Amino acid sequence: MNKPATGIPPASTYFMVPESEREEQHTLAVVVDNEPGVLARIIGLFSARGYNIEQLTVSETEHDKGISRITIVCRGTPKILAQIRNQLSRLVPVHSVADLTMEGEPIERELALVKVRGEGDKRIEALRLADAFRARVVDAHTGSFVFEITGKTRKVDQFIQLMKPLGLIEVVRTGIAAISRGPEAMKM
């Protein structure tokens, strides 16, 4: 019954050319009015249109004006990334969108809290490595530490990797906050 018929054109019209361009990772800064549902709107846009979102950081930045800044790390071909920028910029509560990666290498930082349980040598080694990574001890017990580490994603990744054999039991990360270099502020 369901054998494909031969000599008949495909029955679906949704014939898209496969993307052959290379994917890139970009960091976007999106300034929005902090109104209810604005984050859902942005996330919904990504899921509805099939864009990849890798990291998302949101916080109010100007309380009296009700403005929030969202940092999005996303991945796609240059064409898709341009679409993402355009789709974001036409959302009604969006003030402005900047592709920080396109504007130059932005400063990107994230914060992680890392809980490590261990005793003896492992405990000393964890403390020593934390010092090398400039991670701070924010909670200490006889059998555990919570470290606070700030830095580029790669540095945080590396620190977490090193903590694994030393008794890592829990991690929480903020996702990155990013800002452009130089004297210029983001256009509003």
Residues near another protein (CB under 8 A) are 5, 8-17, 32-33, 36-37, 40-41, 44, 48, 79, 82-83, 86-87, 89-90, 92-95
Min dist. Cβ of residue 40 to another protein (A): 6
Min dist. Cβ of residue 73 to another protein (A): 21
Min dist. Cβ of residue 104 to another protein (A): 23
Closer to another protein by Cβ: residue 83 or 150: 83
Element (H, E) at 118: none
How far is the C-alpha of 26 from the C-alpha of 52, rounded, in Å?
Answer: 11
Min dist. Cβ of residue 83 to another protein (A): 6
How far is the C-alpha of 80 from the C-alpha of 71, rounded, in Å?
Answer: 18
Residue 187, amino acid: K
Closer to another protein by Cβ: residue 44 or 143: 44
Q: Label the pairing between strands 144-151 and 107-117.
A: antiparallel
Closer to another protein by Cβ: residue 59 or 86: 86
SS3 8: coil
Work out whether the CA dihedral 76, 79, 84, 89 comes out positive or negative: positive
How far is the C-alpha of 26 from the C-alpha of 135, rounded, in Å?
Answer: 27
Closer to another protein by Cβ: residue 5 or 185: 5
